[in-house]
Structure 1
Amino acid sequence: MIRSTFVRTALCALLAPTLSCNMLDVNDNEDVSGRGARVFDPYQSSDSGAIRLSLQQFNGCAILPSGSAVSKGTLNLPGYPDTCPDLLAADPTSARSAPTGTLRLMAGTRYFLNQLTLSDIVLNKHTNGADLTDAVRWMKNESRFRNLDWSDLGRVSDQWTFSTGIEGFSQDAWTREVLFDNARWRTVKDDTFTVEIIDQDGVTPRMTPVVYSRTDFLADSAYGGHTRVGWRMETVQAPQSPGDVVPHPLPVLSGQPASPPAYRTLVKIEMVGSTNPFKTFEAPFIPGPAILKVTWSQLPDEPFFFPIELVTPEGLAPTCANADGQPVACGFGVDPKFKFSTPANGQGYYEPGESFRLFLDMRDGDGNQMLPAGVLPSGKDMLADKANGLLYATQASYFTLLERDSLPAYMVAGPLQKLQVRSDPQAKAPYWSANAESVGLVDSLATLSAFPGVYGSTWTTRYSVNLPQDAEPGTYVALVKTQRYFLGERVAKTNSYFFQVGQQEPTTYPNAVGNCQLCHRGVLSLDNLRHGLGVDHVEACKTCHQRDSDLVPRIQTLIHQLHNSSPRYTQNKTDCTVCHLTKESALRPSMNVCQSCHPSVHGDEYFATQFSAKGEPNRFGNCAQTCHAQSTTNGHILPEN
């Protein structure tokens, strides 16, 4: 847990009244209960032992996380298309164009494979939700992965998710997703992925091949957003009765574009999170184009090709700035920082009702400024690879690739001692947080070319925070999150900065949940996964993951579903004491939370409630205040206090 001895905090407040320092320090070791280690991350800068490599393919083409397809140029690559899907199009599965992206790696740098994503997706090809035979037939016989062993494939879930509309642009909508699993290729435990770099002739090897096994990766499950074999019906109204599989289109509202149902059939294979970053390879320098080849042991005759370009440090443009303000080439890693304007009272804390400024200082892992102009680049610049690798969310990442991690954002919330999960996101929170409409560092429409004024705009790095007049005293947190893809390295980082409101005496989190470090240690610490937020700040996750929309899932639902569905989570899954440190924190069951582990909880008895996101009752309602008020659910081990 976070220590209550705040000596460093007091010194910081006295010596740095501008509050530009991190006011809470964490000194715990990895093997203590409660929180655990704050830092174990040797892979965040150019001085790292190795750099994490991310490789992605979509419908036969290598792609960058920005959504750009990678051109094969003059390479002779059998099976690699001349045209690739246009991931910025409304239907990227049918719109194709000449690819313009380039996948660059740094020569002489050691890499380890941290992400491998291989996707094959068709849109609006299988529209019969009552009979998915054709969808399954496409997976087995027509998809890029048709030569895998599909024996024993079966349906494992049929779930509905809700997304809140954007006023004036889209409506509230539901998505039905049917997932399939247990095919024999999915249950293989000893398959391998061989990585090698070969010359542009497609034959001559330029490095010793490195072999990765599936166990070298932390995650590959659908519930973590990774490997998914399924069918989706998107942008519809909720079903009207149990067993209703007929699509109910959204009504066409005046002044808003029509949103017809969309049908997506996908086979997405993704391994992510290296458990062995010491299994590395060095990229040699090869003038001109080269090929990175990945061979999966289950498809030995169908390798996956990634056209690459090897660059040297001398060949990089000086697009960052060093401590002296001189132009230099950027390094690996990303480190977003916040600086604060000085409190008006000069006492080291802000008063309730006061307004102050946050100043974003974006650095790479070497401490170089990535935004020398003091503004965030436009969505257009990001897509054109002119943003020093910074990533924004795109239509492709959210809706085509089904990735939700690339949205840069900040959140201000507090006081820490009131950061408690609420059952109903429509209810008033016990703590204050910044307006949900203003948490994005970049507008959600920034990368949509349909909005040219937004698409080509740069974005401020100064943000105003208006504390409420009734702000409770204590320590507040400002979280800043960003993601970057630079020379093959994909990395996310969230930093936490603390400030005082109404008093100099610091406060701390409720300490209601924790123990993540029991599993997330060393290279698998939370600093290295997902948003790059350290284990000490898990109770701050709820400040963003508190919506009624499943596009940004609620933290209690997400955590239960992700861990209880994972074969790598070996703890007793009915033992709530592993993560819940207090009994009260485990006594807010709801339809939404319980269904994350028990999809058929209560069957269809509360059908209407399951599809009610707003009003009363709804799927977030606290069952402990009604039926489960007198006794807890059976079969769960709860904390004693």
Structure 2
Amino acid sequence: MALALLAGGCTEQELAALKQAPPAAPAPSLSQALTEAAEMRPSVESAVGLALEVDDGVGIPLKVKAGQTFYINQIDLRASLKASQDEGVDGLRRAGDFAQLPWDGVKLVDEEPIPLSNPDGTFTRRRFYRDAQWMEQPSVFNVQPVDAEGLPTGRAVSLHIGKDDRRKSNDDFFIRRLRGIQWTYDCRTATDCTGARNFSEEALVEVRNARTGAIPFTLPSDTTALRLSWSLRPGAAYTIPVTQVAAPTYAYGFSIDVKAVTPPRADGTYAPGTAVTFQLALRDGAGTRLHAEGGLPSYNEVTFGQNEPGIQYYRAFSFIDPTTTYYRRKHRERMLMTQIIGPAQRIQPIRSIVDLDAFFGPDDVQSIGTLERDGVYAQFQTFPPANKLFGGAFFPETKGWDAPVSTSWTYQLPENAEPGTYLVTVKGRRVYLGEDVPASRTLEIQVGSPERTQATLTTGSCRTCHNQGGEFAQVLHGNDNRAACAACHAPLGFELEGPIVVRTHFIHSRSDRFDAPKEQCSSCHLTQESTQRTSKAACLSCHKSYPDSHVEKFGPIESMYVGGGRESFQQCTGACHTTHPGSGF
């Protein structure tokens, strides 16, 4: 099978034989792993997904619950080095943890500056590399539990990560992303890196979201490490130290409770113009609260302290663990935030840009959309509030990262709120004893009328691909309600690619594992009309070029995500591009 059982079910004779095996057992052959993967995948409903990480050859230690049943849900590998000359990612060919990998074919495919300047006035550019042989070809990971002497304590787990250009039924993970990134930290401007001398190069392996039926295993009590080997690095296994905790304070799992503290009117509705206060509670899988009632820990306590419950806040700052849509570790961004959007019948993408200055103001809640400007009302709040979260990063003297964090917040319904259903969502992530898991919760409130209204979405058929471990309830934010996305996913002044339309276009256009023809809009869009709002962001989140006549009229492409700058969300014309070749409409 794709995964082999560990020694929780071994006989004494089998275990003795394993103890006599050489400590550096090779990973299974690719053909062997493919044969095993073709067998039936059983259920792992009671098992916990483990996240494994190796950074520059060093395994990040794991604490796990003793006696728990697990499966491998996520593997992150990173190799990196510093450079003083612009050589792309060629330094990784010569030195570092991935130097022995086959780098033939590697090429630059995308680049994107970070729009905010560095503290010294310079800018950072990111360049993204793909198509190296090791990124493209199929390979297998082997996870072997071992004792303090390095001897096997059980059978190994084999994980087939598949090929870059095709999804197959025997792949063990839904998401597979292997790439290289060059960072340039001292560019003169956002578009000019002439004379730069401060570079870093990194190669990343990201595989996550185990396919349905990953086979469960239990670690024997004498297991002190996992030996992770990769078929592309034969004879060079990584060691991930393991500590087994007999009686952990909390259970595995993660859920979010949300309630309205402000009572509605007698008919169960809220009047337009009402300030409605909400409260959240973060809980483990057994329902135990992960924090004091009414309060969450400070940012410093969560990010740099002990943080036993595993609560997570946004951590994608450049000096912690920067993320990049599609290309770098978005699953590790770990933002805890809430949004309101409505009425449901008006839900649509928000194209008004939220500037960073709005995050530094006195208001904990940011206004994102208005009925007059955007056709829909929307607000959001981060935890800690943005003026503490981002204010503490940019202005550490304000001590925002030491501030206590409330579990309550207030949304101000507009005076002209249209009757209908409004969606209040909280999403977050928990990392606890080896499990890295998202959760979301959406609460509906009625405004002005008790009659429930629904969103009319213009895209669909997602489950054609997003299944068997790739369901929206499992990936991303653990949120399968696509109507409850647009308020959080507005364009930000420092991250213009925020809208779902941009991210969906970009990810699916870059992924070679998306099976449908890229030009066939009808694979996702339900109507031709939904493809006809043309803008730089809509078109250039898929297309990498456009005609010289467009360059002359609209300017050169400056962003791989949205094409240009703030103008990218403006509809450029209603007369052209009313059809798309091969769209299916």
The two structures share one fold, judged by TM-score above 0.5: yes
Q: Deviation string for 1:206-245 (max 9, x for gaps)?
A: 1211111112111223xxxxx33021235757556xxx55
Secondary structure, aligned partner of 1:574: coil
Contact 1:610 1:618 in 2 (8 A): no
1:217 alignment counterpart: 173
Secondary structure, aligned partner of 1:573: coil
Residues in 2 aligned to 1:575 and 1:615: alpha-carbon distance in whole angstroms: 24
Residues in 2 aligned to 1:479 and 1:117: alpha-carbon distance in whole angstroms: 29
Cα RMSD between the aligned structures? 3.2
Task: Pick closer, same or farther for the CA change 1:577–1:468 going to 2, 3 Å.
Answer: same
1:325 alignment counterpart: none
Q: Deviation string for 1:381-406 (max 9, x for gaps)?
A: 22323240111122322269754631
Q: Deviation string for 1:235-280 (max 9, x for gaps)?
A: 757556xxx55279xxxxxxxxxxxx96332111111121144323
Secondary structure, aligned partner of 1:104: strand
Residues in 1 aligned to 2:114 and 2:397: alpha-carbon distance in whole angstroms: 25
Task: Normalising by structure 2, report the TM-score.
Answer: 0.78
Contact 2:183 2:201 in 1 (8 A): yes
Contact 2:69 2:216 in 1 (8 A): yes
2:411 pairs, out of 441, 465, 475, with 465
- Displacement of 1:619 in angstroms is 2.1
Which aligned pairs between 1:551-562 and structure 2 lie closer than 5 A?
553-562=498-507
1:303 alignment counterpart: 237
2:273 alignment counterpart: 353
- Displacement of 1:601 in angstroms is 2.2
Task: Pick closer, same or farther for the CA change 1:174–1:577 going to 2, 3 Å.
Answer: farther
Contact 2:351 2:374 in 1 (8 A): no
Residues in 1 aligned to 2:59 and 2:390: alpha-carbon distance in whole angstroms: 25
Indicate yes or no: 2:155 matched with 1:231.
no
2:374 alignment counterpart: 429
Q: AA paired with 1:545?
A: H
Residues in 1 aligned to 2:553 and 2:189: alpha-carbon distance in whole angstroms: 14
Residues in 2 aligned to 1:437 and 1:108: alpha-carbon distance in whole angstroms: 36
Residues in 2 aligned to 1:136 and 1:483: alpha-carbon distance in whole angstroms: 32
2:463 alignment counterpart: 517
Instruction: State the aligned residue count.
Output: 503
Indicate yes or no: 2:286 matched with 1:366.
yes
1:420 alignment counterpart: 348
2:491 alignment counterpart: 547
1:207 alignment counterpart: 154
Contact 2:296 2:406 in 1 (8 A): yes
Q: AA paired with 1:433?
A: A
Q: AA paired with 1:212?
A: L
Residues in 2 aligned to 1:262 and 1:447: alpha-carbon distance in whole angstroms: 26
Question: Which shifted more, 614-623 or 508-517?
Answer: 614-623
Contact 2:536 2:568 in 1 (8 A): yes
Which aligned pairs between 1:231-630 and structure 2 lie closer than 5 A?
231-234=182-185, 245-246=193-194, 263-286=199-222, 290-312=224-246, 315-317=247-249, 330-382=250-302, 383-394=304-315, 395=317, 396-398=320-322, 402-403=329-330, 405-423=333-351, 425=353, 428-434=373-379, 440=385, 443-445=388-390, 450=396, 453-534=399-480, 537-548=481-492, 549-550=494-495, 553-602=498-547, 604-605=551-552, 608=555, 610-611=557-558, 618-625=567-574, 629-630=575-576
Contact 2:184 2:193 in 1 (8 A): no
Question: Which shifted more, 412-421 or 436-445?
Answer: 436-445
Secondary structure, aligned partner of 1:618: helix
Contact 2:486 2:499 in 1 (8 A): yes
Task: Pick closer, same or farther for the CA change 1:490–1:300 going to 2, 3 Å.
Answer: same
Secondary structure, aligned partner of 2:300: helix
Question: Which shifted more, 148-157 or 169-178?
Answer: 169-178
1:60 pairs, out of 42, 54, 57, with 57
Contact 1:331 1:364 in 2 (8 A): yes
- Displacement of 1:105 in angstroms is 1.1
Secondary structure, aligned partner of 1:527: coil
- Displacement of 1:589 in angstroms is 2.5
Task: Pick closer, same or farther for the CA change 1:423–1:388 going to 2, 3 Å.
Answer: closer
Secondary structure, aligned partner of 2:436: strand
Contact 1:379 1:457 in 2 (8 A): yes
1:160 alignment counterpart: 112
- Displacement of 1:414 in angstroms is 1.0
Secondary structure, aligned partner of 2:269: coil
Q: AA paired with 1:230?
A: I
Residues in 2 aligned to 1:416 and 1:301: alpha-carbon distance in whole angstroms: 56
Residues in 2 aligned to 1:365 and 1:331: alpha-carbon distance in whole angstroms: 6
Secondary structure, aligned partner of 1:180: strand
- Displacement of 1:526 in angstroms is 0.6
Secondary structure, aligned partner of 1:266: strand
Secondary structure, aligned partner of 1:220: strand
Contact 1:210 1:280 in 2 (8 A): no
Contact 1:410 1:439 in 2 (8 A): no
Residues in 2 aligned to 1:614 and 1:148: alpha-carbon distance in whole angstroms: 34
Contact 1:609 1:618 in 2 (8 A): no
Task: Normalising by structure 1, report the TM-score.
Answer: 0.72
Structure 2: gaps of 5 or more residues: 1-42, 162-170, 355-368
1:197 alignment counterpart: 145
Secondary structure, aligned partner of 2:204: strand
- Displacement of 1:610 in angstroms is 4.2
- Displacement of 1:53 in angstroms is 0.8
Secondary structure, aligned partner of 2:482: helix
2:96 alignment counterpart: 143
Contact 1:419 1:431 in 2 (8 A): yes
Contact 1:206 1:284 in 2 (8 A): yes
Question: Which shifted more, 340-349 or 360-369?
Answer: 340-349
Q: AA paired with 2:261?
A: S
Residues in 1 aligned to 2:105 and 2:556: alpha-carbon distance in whole angstroms: 34
Structure 1: gaps of 5 or more residues: 1-41, 64-69, 71-102, 222-226, 249-260, 318-329
Contact 2:338 2:380 in 1 (8 A): no
Task: Pick closer, same or farther for the CA change 1:152–1:447 going to 2, 3 Å.
Answer: same
Q: AA paired with 1:200?
A: A
Task: Pick closer, same or farther for the CA change 1:365–1:163 going to 2, 3 Å.
Answer: farther
Contact 1:164 1:171 in 2 (8 A): no
Task: Pick closer, same or farther for the CA change 1:485–1:436 going to 2, 3 Å.
Answer: closer
Task: Pick closer, same or farther for the CA change 1:608–1:299 going to 2, 3 Å.
Answer: same
Which aligned pairs between 1:36-51 and structure 2 lie closer than 5 A?
48-51=45-48
Task: Pick closer, same or farther for the CA change 1:634–1:551 going to 2, 3 Å.
Answer: closer
Indicate yes or no: 2:43 matched with 1:121.
no
Q: AA paired with 2:53?
A: Q
- Displacement of 1:452 in angstroms is 7.8
- Displacement of 1:611 in angstroms is 4.5
Indicate yes or no: 2:575 matched with 1:632.
no
Contact 2:350 2:487 in 1 (8 A): no
2:66 alignment counterpart: 107
Q: Deviation string for 1:399-430 (max 9, x for gaps)?
A: 69754631111111111111112455479321
